[in-house]
Amino acid sequence: MKDERNYSLLPHNTFGIEAVCRRYVEFSSMEEARETAALLRHEDTPFLIIGRGSNLLLTRDFEGIVVRSAIDDITLQPAGDHTLVRVGSGMEWDAFVAWCVEHDLHGAENLSLIPGDVGASAVQNIGAYGAEAADIIYKVEAVRIADGQQVELKAEDCAYGYRQSRFKHEWKNQYLITHVVYRLSSVFVPQLDYGNIRAELQQRGIGQPTAQALRDVIIAIRQQKLPDPQVLGNAGSFFMNPVVGREVFERLQRQFPEMPHYPVDALHEKIPAAWLIDQCGWKGRSLGRAGVHDRQALVLVNRGGASGSEVVTLCHAIQADVRQRFGIEISPEVNIV
């Protein structure tokens, strides 16, 4: 088990922010996961579970224990016309997607190149291009911190919704996820009706894509649109798209007839936060060493050496402008610690 003191979290957050934790523990087996749970029970100190820190903004040193899974085994179990694939929570998500495509197991292609670990996919219910992790999660295996017991949590019990799960709310800090079991199909049914997947395939002269071709296209689209955290620190979409009630929506639509929107249900509409931010003139602008990406207004970036507080100051300035102009709140999707 890796167990370090006064450990730099710089390599563990995609915003590229320097912060130190008092202790850093990484478990790479079930036994080590149970030992880690015991350590968290016995040490009376705050703790923070991380994956690859790609949805994380550190604003200070962490005076407690940072925990990460490094379990990265993978096993298969046939289940009728599907296959159950049990994957260690510390495996890199995109390495898992690549593995699935190579092994003719389908359902994860549209989630290609999302940064992070397998464990976090089950917490965040990651999603992109019309797919989300909940579509393929069968169950989650974890060690319960309170008593060190190994537990299995069925997908139906995880209350998955848009980027939501119980792990983010009432189960927060209760479990160390050790494995996620996905249910994948040997039949490839491509989902092409989202974003510019079809246009990109057409440009490449591909009519009926293979799983690998679809993965390649998704990767290419993402690389065009999103900054690479290795080059420009960021945590993907910084804000969630606000969902507003009918009355607010109708007022906004009268004021801004060109405003894009998507129905959520009969009473609510979702408005793209990127549009709101762009309308406030923030796209491409900076405040100190933090800024808004010039191609995607939803992505806040570290222009070099920014502190977490500088990013928070920028976040507050954007929220205030959106509030003043549109009378609605946008909330961060990123965990601010």
**Count of residues touching ligand FAD (by CB under 6 A):** 33
252 lines the binding site for ligand FAD (CB under 6 A) = no
Asked if 328 contacts 242 with a C-beta cutoff of 8 angstroms, the reply is yes
Place of tokens 């798209």: 241
Cα separation, 83 vs 68, whole angstroms: 27
Instruction: Please report, as residue ranges, which positions from 167 to 226 form the binding site for ligand FAD (by CB under 6 A).
Output: 175-177, 226
Cα separation, 20 vs 26, whole angstroms: 15
CB of 280 to ligand FAD, least distance (A): 22
Does the active-site annotation cover 200?
no
Please select the residue that binds ligand FAD; options are 36, 69, 83, 112, rule is CB under 6 A: 69
Nearest to 293 by CA among 234, 223, 336: 234
88 lines the binding site for ligand FAD (CB under 6 A) = no
- Buried residues in 40-71 as b, exposed as e (16+ CB within 10 A): beeeeeebbbbbbbbbbbbeeebeebbbbbbb
- Output 237 or 249, the one with its CB closest to ligand FAD: 237
- Phi, psi (rounded to 5 degrees) for 178: -110, -35
Question: Alpha helices, DSSP H only, in the chain?
Answer: 30-42, 93-102, 118-124, 197-203, 211-225, 246-255, 273-279, 308-326
302 lines the binding site for ligand FAD (CB under 6 A) = no
Instruction: Please report, as residue ranges, which positions from 113 to 152 form the binding site for ligand FAD (by CB under 6 A).
Output: 114-117, 119-121, 123-124, 126-128
36 lines the binding site for ligand FAD (CB under 6 A) = no
Structure tokens at 258: 């060109």
Asked if 136 contacts 105 with a C-beta cutoff of 8 angstroms, the reply is no
* Active-site position among 237, 269, 307, 310: 237
Does the active-site annotation cover 89?
no
* Active-site position among 34, 163, 183, 215: 163
Does the active-site annotation cover 333?
yes
49 lines the binding site for ligand FAD (CB under 6 A) = yes
User: Rule CB under 6 A: which residues touch ligand FAD?
Assistant: 14, 49-56, 69, 89, 114-117, 119-121, 123-124, 126-128, 163, 175-177, 226, 229, 234-236, 335
Catalytic site positions: 163, 237, 333
